[in-house]
Structure 1
Amino acid sequence: MTIARFEVFSKVVELGSFTKAADQLNMTQSAVSHAIANLESEWSTTLLIRDRKNGLLLTEVGQRTIVHIREILNRMEIIQQEIARAAKLEVGTIRIGTFASASACLLPKILANFQKQHPKIEFRFFEGTYEEIIEWLSTGVIDIGFVVQPDAKSAVEWIPLAKDEMVVAFSKGHKFNQDDVVPVRSLQDEPFIMPTGMYQSHVQEIFQQAKVAPCIRFEVKDCNTIANMVQEGLGITIGPALFLKTQPNLQIRRLDVEHWRTVALACPSIAASSPAVKAFLAVASQVFNKS
């Protein structure tokens, strides 16, 4: 059992392919297969199943094992960073989970400031849904992730970055374009596209507070799909300004019922994080405390 085999196994699971893992690790596919086979032989168990329809699948023991393997690899990364820091060198990689609007509006500002101070730190980015980011944090796929107002009972620790107002969005030429602020009550007769993702609860709270029942025409999870549907005049929606203001073909307005969500950076444990991650969190906090 070696760290190298753990690295191979983790990369195969991450990419879902022996070939892609071999390319990234600068190994032959045969060597990757051999490393996995040796690990399975040593443990007398099967970790991966090749399925023609679904590709590579983790067995039950594989699912339980990969979490611990990632933790070991993460700890090795921390050790390497601590040794480098003692030698007054700076090395390391930060794996960041992010969603579309955070990638567009928050991440570039943090990176610009961070790389001025820590130019040798490398990054890997994983873009997904809010739910995927939380799962990636819990399973060790990423070191830190952008999240939206984590639940108080959540297992992650988080640092708030920005408040994001919920606004109404509509197509160009809509009658709401004449208003500076749109009353929530005026939305009840409009065909409404209800988001079913993580900010659905925020939208529902707005309607409940105004005692308004929306005329829901569609229920959609993907933010980009919602934006395209609104653009085509299929209905209006309510969503976070951080995302909607990046959509050039939409009009947005504030509502007469104010509602905000908090965008934060989360990690399993700030104290147990690597020096590079701690530095990134510190820079992020400085950048947005100044904003």
Structure 2
Amino acid sequence: MLHAAHKAAKRLNMTQSAVSHAISSLETEWGVSLLICDRKKGISLTEIGQKTIPHIKEVLNRMETINQEISLSTNIETGTIRIGTFASASSCLLPKLLVKFQEKHPNIKFTFYEGTYEEITEWLLSGIIDIGFVVEVESNTEFDTVPLIKDRMVVSFHAEHKFLHKDTIDMHDIEKEPFIMPTGMYQSHVEELFKQAQIKPFIRFEVHDCNTIANMVQEGLGITIGPELLLKTQQNIKIENLILLNYREVSLTCSSISEASPAVKEFLKIAENAFHDSNKSSYEEVSIK
């Protein structure tokens, strides 16, 4: 218990005794135990503790919104935006948006959570993050979505591969090449390309992790197809366009734009405008008020 309280105190910028007292006071007020202390397993939540967590998070999110509304009325900006992101969005999309946002709102702070597509969706559902970069949002989703870009699927190969001097790659050129099949979120796009071309790839490896795929391509173990946003950031591999076109759609998503904090609404509005010109002909506009 003491070790957990010490870690919590450091994160909250409080004394260890203050954290222990706060937990004890809450348990006394509610008349229940929230934590289980076990020397071997450490600290864990009781059943009632687990049930209260979503409600506590919602209260904290509401308090953040109230503080931002008060600050907005007094022309003093404050607040934090929590963003869930995946690797290629972090390196290629997020910096552009942060620069534009902080030019107008330098006092807003950010907390970033980087994970898989599945983790980002879970973080949105549980209220851990305010906004998440997502791919291929279903039309019937419970989230509100702001489309950003259409990320083209490209072929990636070793720096000395015979594809190096080609302007575009035909799917039939890929048919007999050792192929590294991704098993993640964009696998369906790759399979759709082979289906359109009516060919079956010579699959040598099936790999889930994007960095592992890039490293295998770099070592000459095979070629792959994937999103340009991801593959163009990898070192020592080459990419080229395919004759057949296929895209994945990258968007920003939150639980509810209408109920979002002022800072989150402003971030989404700036994101919408930042990519508006490139998406004008591809997306129906999303109104953020």
Name the TM-score, length of structure 1 as normaliser.
0.88
Q: How does 1:180-191 map to 2 (within 5 A)?
A: 180-191=167-178
Q: Describe the shift of the 1:35–1:288 C-alpha distance in structure 2 as closer, same or farther (beyond 3 A).
A: same
> 1:188-211: per-residue Cα shift (whole Å, max 9, x none)?
222221112111111111111212
Q: Describe the shift of the 1:44–1:81 C-alpha distance in structure 2 as closer, same or farther (beyond 3 A).
A: same
Quote the residue 1:74 is aligned against: 61
Quote the residue 1:278 is aligned against: 265
Shift in Å, 1:20: 3.5
Q: Describe the shift of the 1:194–1:48 C-alpha distance in structure 2 as closer, same or farther (beyond 3 A).
A: farther
Q: What is the number of residues matched between the two proteins?
A: 276
The one-letter code sitting in structure 1 at the alignment partner of 2:67 is: Q
Q: Secondary structure at the match of 2:235?
A: coil
Quote the residue 2:14 is aligned against: 27
Distance 1:88 1:150 in 2: 36
Distance 2:39 2:222 in 1: 41
Tell me how large the CA RMSD over aligned residues is: 2.1
1:172 aligns with 2:159: yes
Distance 1:78 1:289 in 2: 27
1:231 aligns with 2:218: yes
1:114 aligns with 2:101: yes
Q: Secondary structure at the match of 1:251?
A: strand
Quote the residue 2:202 is aligned against: 215
Distance 2:142 2:268 in 1: 18
Distance 1:122 1:157 in 2: 22
Q: Secondary structure at the match of 1:101?
A: helix
Q: Describe the shift of the 1:258–1:50 C-alpha distance in structure 2 as closer, same or farther (beyond 3 A).
A: farther
1:127 aligns with 2:114: yes
1:83 aligns with 2:82: no
Quote the sequence identity (%): 61
Listed as ranges, the gaps of 5+ residues in structure 2 are: 279-289
Q: Secondary structure at the match of 1:120?
A: coil
Q: Describe the shift of the 1:284–1:195 C-alpha distance in structure 2 as closer, same or farther (beyond 3 A).
A: same
Q: Describe the shift of the 1:102–1:84 C-alpha distance in structure 2 as closer, same or farther (beyond 3 A).
A: same
Q: Secondary structure at the match of 1:147?
A: strand
Q: Secondary structure at the match of 1:146?
A: strand
> 1:29-73: per-residue Cα shift (whole Å, max 9, x none)?
343344334434444445444567776544544443222211110
> 1:140-198: per-residue Cα shift (whole Å, max 9, x none)?
00000111121112221110011100111111101111211111122222222111211
Listed as ranges, the gaps of 5+ residues in structure 1 are: 1-15
Runs of 4+ in 1 over 2 A off after TM superposition: 16-21, 28-65
